[in-house]
Amino acid sequence: MDLDSILQFRQNLTMMKLDRISGYILLVLALYAMPGNNMQITSCRGVDLDITEDHIMHMNVCLKEAGAKEVKDVDPSKMPCFGKCVMARQGLIDDKGLPHKENLKKMIKDHLPKDVHDDLNKRIEFCLLPNNTEIIDPKDESCATYLPTLMCMHIAFLEECSQGED
């Protein structure tokens, strides 16, 4: 087998992996997009989060790009690009098009309650392991290759921030 065949096989394998998990991810997106859940974190473990004007501006730009007025109205097929857009505008994507681990840690430290830092950082680090990010293709116009990593991080935020709020 030559190098091109190996690379093509690997790409096909990656796309099969994406197809298998896309059904699960769309189910999770549908659950989070149910009425009453706008998919945004406004509090974390009972502490209201400061939503800055910059954050609102970034969200509005990305919502406009996605053709929606609210997060819950973003078409599921556009959700990966919406997530990538928000992260990029907040400096959470590096110059290679990958999630920026240090900036994510800084955002956690600067904006979330201290008691969530350690656990959330561990979960985010898991989401950013090479085997979880190697499928990301910054040239992917559908942003589908970002979806598993974005969902991993989003679910980590939702679960860590909702602990103790029942």
**Per-residue pLDDT band at 43 (split at 50, 70, 90):** confident
Please name the residues in contact with 119: beta carbons below 8 A apart, sequence gap of 6 or more. Answer: 160
Q: Is the pTM of this model over 0.85?
A: no
106-130: average pLDDT: 92
The residue ranking higher by pLDDT, 114 or 15, is 114
Q: Please count the other Cβ atoms lying within 10 Å of the Cβ belonging to residue 47.
A: 13
DSSP state, residue 49: P
DSSP state, residue 76: G
**Percentage with pLDDT > 70 across the chain:** 73
Tell me which range, 3-12, 14-23, 30-39, 140-149, is most confidently predicted by mean pLDDT.
140-149
Tell me which range, 10-19, 49-58, 157-166, is most confidently predicted by mean pLDDT.
49-58
Q: Which helix (H) or strand (E) element contains residue 44? A: strand 43-44
Which domains does the chain possess?
Answer: 36-162 (1.10.238.20)
**Per-residue pLDDT band at 49 (split at 50, 70, 90):** confident
In terms of C-beta density within 10 A (0-12 exposed, 13-18 middle, 19 or more buried), how is residue 18 classed?
Answer: middle
Structure confidence at residue 37 (pLDDT): 47
Structure confidence at residue 165 (pLDDT): 61
